[in-house]
């Protein structure tokens, strides 16, 4: 194979989705399956739906269009705050969106009214992670301002945690979200459909039984795709961690010193990496580089192999412990983390191959 390839096991994704949605369902929580890490790949979305997610959520309108063009059914939620310049496209493309800006909500109202539609919104509140959302003391005022906008239906209140600031969801901030949702309900005079407080970082809180009652909506991506919670990146019980695998070809195999020889400066990316002196080692140059994806997010399938580093076009792997078993032209396998998965899926240099053992799963 001349190009690196990412294989995608749809059956394992379906299984992971079922494991996560079954857990959430036991606690009265509806799950939106998040496909942003896979660029809205329709077959991944279908696997999530077969696994029990109630709808699909993505952060890019381009991915939403890809889902629609492929005929992926169900509710569609836009995760990234709508751009003011794209409100008409948003209203025409998704059922609901996350929002925090009154000017954008007003524009969404105009766009929805022009199309004869009702656009659902989840008002986002910032509980300390310092990403999207109004500060808690501004939420009720925003809800009151949005309440009477024609073409807009406030369906929920939401918060995002463990992304920018790494703030962990806990009983205190989830209770705060429920309290704020109740205050919004009192202000607008109607019941909210969703209190959307969980992503993959909240599964441990949910499984422990400490999640406050009232949280009834989750936006889950990584736990379904990679089988990991996102506080400690530990494997989630009952899920597969190898639904995605990257394979790339060995282009060169040489025995070389383990430390560079000569006066050193920065590398091609402005860093001065450290090299441990381990004597001469067998080193493979693998045909994938930083131009293709995030190399730091790769873990070799063979535990005897160590990633030394990478450049724009190569991944350097120490294969000494597997001496004699690896040859030029062989393919090495790697498990990607979330960052590497995003890079591989968005890369035009990485091929994608969908796998399924059940015929109706195939594209």
* Burial of residue 86, with CB atoms counted within 10 A of its CB: 0-12 exposed, 13-18 middle, 19 or more buried: middle
- In this prediction, residue 2 carries a pLDDT of 66
> For position 275, what pLDDT does the model report?
80
- Owner of token pair 């269009």: 65
Q: How far apart are the C-alpha atoms of 306 and 295, rounded to whole Å?
A: 12
Model confidence, pTM: 0.94
Q: Report pLDDT for 167.
A: 97
Q: Give every CB contact of residue 141 below 8 A, 6+ residues apart in sequence.
A: none
Contacts of 273 (CB under 8 A, 6+ apart): 267, 309
Taking CA atoms, 264 is separated from 248, 255, 274, 285, 308, in Å, by 29, 21, 11, 21, 17
DSSP for 303-316?
TT-EEEEE-SS-EE
Name 76's bridge partners. Answer: 56
Q: What is the DSSP string of 210-268?
A: -SPTT--EEEESHHHHTSB-SSS-PBPTT--S-SEEEEEEEEEEEEEESS--S-----T
What is the Cα–Cα distance from 221 to 194, expressed in whole angstroms?
Answer: 18
Q: What is the pLDDT of residue 277?
A: 82
Looking at beta carbons, which pairs linking 74-77 to residues 24 or more positions away fall under 8 Å?
A: 74/49, 75/32, 77/32, 77/122, 77/219
- Tokens 């039984």 -> residue: 209
129 half-sphere exposure, CB direction, 13 A CA radius: 22
Tell me the per-residue pLDDT of 199-258, one tens digit each, with 9 for 90 and over: 999 999 999 999 999 999 999 999 999 999 999 999 999 999 999 999 999 999 999 998
**CA–CA dist 35, 330 (Å, integer):** 32
Q: At what angle do helices 102-115 and 136-147 cross, to 10 degrees?
A: 30
Which tokens in the block code for residue 19? 């494991």
- Which parts of the chain register pLDDT below 50? 359-363
The residues annotated as belonging to the active site are: 36
CA 96, CA 114: separation in Å to the nearest integer? 17
Domains of the chain: 10-225 (3.20.20.10), 244-336 (2.40.37.10)
Residue 271, pLDDT score: 73
- Name the token pair of 178: 């429920």
Residues 149 and 210: their CA atoms lie apart, in Å, by 37
The pLDDT of residue 261 is 85
The closest alpha carbon to 60, from 110, 94, 16, belongs to 94
Distance of CA 206 to the CA centre of its chain: 19
DSSP 159-200: ---SSSS-PPP-HHHHHHHHHHHHHHHHHHTS--SEEEEESG
Question: pLDDT tens digits, residue range 150-192?
Answer: 999 999 999 999 999 999 999 999 999 999 999 999 999 999 9
């Amino acid at each position: 194979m001349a190009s690196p390839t990412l294989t995608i096991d749809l059956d394992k994704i379906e299984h992971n989705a079922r494991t996560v949605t079954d857990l959430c369902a036991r606690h009265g929580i509806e799950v939106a399956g998040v496909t942003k890490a896979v660029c809205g790949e329709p077959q991944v979305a279908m696997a999530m739906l077969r696994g029990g997610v109630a709808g699909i959520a993505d952060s890019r309108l381009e991915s939403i269009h890809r889902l629609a063009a492929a005929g992926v059914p169900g509710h569609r939620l836009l995760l990234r705050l709508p751009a003011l310049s794209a409100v008409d496209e948003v209203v025409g493309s998704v059922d609901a969106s996350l929002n925090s800006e009154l000017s954008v909500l007003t524009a969404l109202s105009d766009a929805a009214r022009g199309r004869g539609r009702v656009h659902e919104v989840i008002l986002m509140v910032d509980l300390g992670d310092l990403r999207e959302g109004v500060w808690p003391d501004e939420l009720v005022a925003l809800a009151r301002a949005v309440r009477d906008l024609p073409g807009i239906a406030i369906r929920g209140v939401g918060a995002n945690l463990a992304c920018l600031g790494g703030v962990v969801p806990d009983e205190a901030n989830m209770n705060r979200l429920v309290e704020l949702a109740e205050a919004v309900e009192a202000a607008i005079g109607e019941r909210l459909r969703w209190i959307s407080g969980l992503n993959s970082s909240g599964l441990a809180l949910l499984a422990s039984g400490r999640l406050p009652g009232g949280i009834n909506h989750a936006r889950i991506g990584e736990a379904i795709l990679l089988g990991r919670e996102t506080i400690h990146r530990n494997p989630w019980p009952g899920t597969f961690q190898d639904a995605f695998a990257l394979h790339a070809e060995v282009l060169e195999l040489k025995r070389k010193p383990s430390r560079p020889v000569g006066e050193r400066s920065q590398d091609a990316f402005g860093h001065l990496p450290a090299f441990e002196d381990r004597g001469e080692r067998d080193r493979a140059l693998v045909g994938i580089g930083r131009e293709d994806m995030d190399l730091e997010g790769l873990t070799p399938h063979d535990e005897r192999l160590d990633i030394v580093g990478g450049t724009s076009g190569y991944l350097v792997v120490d294969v000494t412990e597997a001496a004699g078993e690896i040859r030029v032209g062989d393919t090495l396998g790697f498990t990607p983390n979330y960052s590497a998965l995003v890079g591989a899926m968005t890369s035009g240099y990485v091929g994608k191959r969908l796998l399924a053992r059940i015929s109706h799963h195939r594209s």
